[in-house]
A and B are shown apart, each in its own frame.
Chain A
């Protein structure tokens, strides 16, 4: 299994500012993903974080709004830029271990934008 930590666990931010969320895994992983869960909703995939190259974004999500970095096999960041109240959500990091059949999720970062 994998132990995934996210920082911060929660934050309250002002409209127009940006927040960077960190995801750290205790072992090397093949793939890393970022998901969003809006209040009362299911999870939606934002993007796949690719090591050493630009992230692959899902429809409806763009790099200018959600820039992602993945400098190595155990770490990734997601930035929520120019925030509005509609960005208030839980943001979750998810990973697939090498040769694993399971996809693991971090505890999430609860973001509130005022």
Chain B
């Protein structure tokens, strides 16, 4: 699975959009981009995934560049409960018939 690079931390004001970047310049054509988050003292939580099209669900939006070398997770209206470590993961299997390799992630702090 391809390696990802994320900023170690970022702050966001409550109510504003949080844009979390992820670089995956060695991604292969059959690899998906997954996002998880881990709130303190909890297990990781699935957020969203995509292959090449932009995706949106009730939690977030995922924007993947046309060359697929980078992506951005957007939390449209950040709340204090969105404070967490966010992980960008690249992997092959859409049905997760395998394992997630976690990197260091981005510590997001949402402030009032």
Tell me how many residues of B have a C-beta within 8 Å of chain A: 20
State the main secondary structure of chain A at its contact with B. strand
A92 proximity list for chain B (CB < 8 A): 43-44
Decide yes or no: A102 and B102 within 8 Å by CB, A43-B44, A107-B42, A107-B43 being known contacts: no
Contact B96 A43 (CB under 8 A): no
Q: Is B99 an interface residue (CB 8 A)?
A: yes
Q: Which of A61-69, A74-82, A93-101 contacts B (4 or more CB under 8 A)?
A: A93-101
| B6 smallest CB distance to A (angstroms) | 11
| A63 smallest CB distance to B (angstroms) | 17
| A38 smallest CB distance to B (angstroms) | 12
A30 proximity list for chain B (CB < 8 A): 97
Ranked 5 nearest A-B pairs via Cβ: A105-B43, A43-B102, A102-B46, A42-B102, A103-B96
A residues whose Cβ falls under 8 Å from a Cβ of B: 4, 30-31, 33, 42-45, 48, 58, 92, 94, 96, 99-108
B residues whose Cβ falls under 8 Å from a Cβ of A: 41-46, 49, 87, 94-105
